[in-house]
C-alpha cells in the first residue's frame, strides 16, 4: 500500500543540502583510507558506486527528518520522531548495500542536523541557535544509552558501547550531546576560509583538519587508542604544513593515503563529520540568504 506524505518546500530544500554534502564526502580524493571515485581506501567490502546507491537510499528518510523538525513540538519530541525514521532509513541503506554499513553513523548525525535546522527555521531562529537545538534534542543520551550499559558483559554491547566501557569515549552520541564542538567551534569556519581552493581540495583540507581532533570510533574499532593518537598527530603535522594549500601538505596527504591503505586505517568518523560540516555550511548560507529577502 502506497503512503501519501505532505512535504514542505523547506524540507525538500534542506534535505537537498544533506544529500549534496554526503555526496561530496564520498567524491573527494585523496581521502586517506576512505572510499572515493578512484580508490576503495582501506575497505575490502565497499566501493564508490555502493556509496552512491547508499546515498540515494537516504533521500526519503532525510526529507522526513527535515519535515519532522517543522513543528511546535519540543526538541526532545522531535528527536523521538526522527529516531523512528532513522531505523527505517537504516533498513533502506542495508537493502541498497547488501547489508554493508556505509552510512549508519552519517544517517544518525545528518538526521539530527536536518531536524535541528528545520526546527530553527520553523521557530524563526538564527542559524547560531541550531547548535542549542541539537543539544536540547539529545540531552541525556549518553547517560541513557552508554552509562546505563557499562555493567553489561561485552558480548551484549555494540561497538560504540564497548568503546565507552573500555576508554570512556562516547563517540557520536557524546558529540551531538555536546553540540558538535568540532564542527561548530572549528570545522565550519575552517571549511569556509578555504573558498579559494578547488572544492575537492577544500574537502580534503577540512577532512585532515577534523582528523586532528576527532575521537574516531572507526579507527578505535579497527585498531587501538594508540593508533588513533598517531592519526591525530599526523593530521596536525599535515595541517601545520599547510594541508592542501601547499605542495608539502599535498604530498603528505598522498603519503598518508598510501599508508592508511597499507595499514587498513579508515577515519570513518572524521568522514561523517566532514559531510556534516558541508551540510551545516550550506545551511548557514541558506539562513543568511533568507535573512536578506
Contact between 69 and 115 under an 8 Å Cβ cutoff? The reply is yes
Signed CA dihedral, 172, 229, 159, 93: sign only: positive
55 domain residue, yes or no: yes
Predicted confidence band of residue 221 (pLDDT cuts 50, 70, 90): confident
3 domain residue, yes or no: no
* Least confidently predicted of 129-133, 191-195, 220-224, 248-252: 220-224
Task: Assign residue 171 a region (left: φ > 0; alpha: ψ between -120 and 50; beta: otherwise).
Answer: left
pLDDT at 285 over 90: yes
2 domain residue, yes or no: no
Number of domains in the chain: 1
* Cell 537510499, residue located: 57
Please give the pLDDT value at position 163.
63
Mean predicted confidence (pLDDT) in 96-115: 96
Please give the pLDDT value at position 170.
59
> Hey, what's the cell of 1?
500500500
Q: Is 36 helix (H, G, I), strand (E, B) or coil?
A: strand
pLDDT at 168 over 70: no
60 domain residue, yes or no: yes
Residue 72 sits in which domain range?
Answer: 9-291
Q: What is the mean pLDDT of the chain?
A: 92
Please give the pLDDT value at position 169.
63
pLDDT tens for each residue of 246-270: 999 999 999 999 999 999 999 999 9
Please give the pLDDT value at position 291.
67
1 domain residue, yes or no: no
Amino acid at each position: 500500500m502506497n503512503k501519501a506524505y505532505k512535504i514542505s518546500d523547506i524540507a525538500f530544500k534542506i534535505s537537498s543540502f544533506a544529500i549534496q554534502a554526503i555526496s561530496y564526502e564520498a567524491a573527494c580524493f585523496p581521502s586517506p583510507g576512505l572510499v572515493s571515485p578512484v580508490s576503495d581506501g582501506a575497505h575490502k567490502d565497499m566501493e564508490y558506486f555502493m556509496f552512491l546507491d547508499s546515498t540515494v537510499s537516504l533521500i526519503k528518510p532525510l526529507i522526513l527528518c527535515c519535515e519532522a523538525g517543522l513543528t511546535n513540538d519540543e526538541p526532545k519530541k522531535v528527536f523521538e520522531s526522527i529516531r523512528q525514521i532513522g531505523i527505517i532509513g537504516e533498513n533502506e541503506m542495508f537493502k541498497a548495500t547488501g547489508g554493508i554499513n556505509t552510512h549508519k553513523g552519517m544517517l544518525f548525525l545528518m538526521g539530527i542536523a536536518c531536524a535541528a535546522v528545520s526546527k530553527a527555521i520553523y521557530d524563526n531562529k538564527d542559524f547560531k541557535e541550531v547548535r542549542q537545538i541539537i543539544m536540547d534534542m539529545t540531552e541525556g543520551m549518553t547517560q541513557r544509552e552508554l552509562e546505563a550499559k557499562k555493567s553489561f558483559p561485552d558480548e551484549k554491547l555494540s561497538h560504540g558501547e564497548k568503546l565507552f566501557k573500555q576508554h570512556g569515549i562516547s563517540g557520536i552520541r557524546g558529540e551531538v550531546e555536546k553540540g558538535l564542538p568540532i564542527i561548530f567551534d572549528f570545522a565550519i569556519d575552517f571549511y569556509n576560509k578555504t573558498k579559494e581552493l578547488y572544492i575537492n581540495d577544500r574537502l580534503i583540507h577540512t577532512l585532515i583538519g577534523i582528523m586532528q581532533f576527532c575521537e574516531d570510533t572507526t579507527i578505535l574499532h579497527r585498531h587501538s587508542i594508540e593508533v588513533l593518537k598517531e592519526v591525530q598527530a599526523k593530521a596536525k603535522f599535515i595541517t601545520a604544513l599547510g594541508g592542501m594549500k601547499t605542495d608539502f601538505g599535498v604530498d603528505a596527504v598522498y603519503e598518508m593515503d598510501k599508508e592508511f591503505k597499507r595499514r587498513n586505517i579508515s577515519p570513518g568518523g572524521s568522514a561523517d563529520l566532514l559531510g556534516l560540516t558541508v551540510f551545516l555550511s550550506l545551511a548557514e548560507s541558506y539562513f543568511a540568504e533568507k535573512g536578506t529577502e
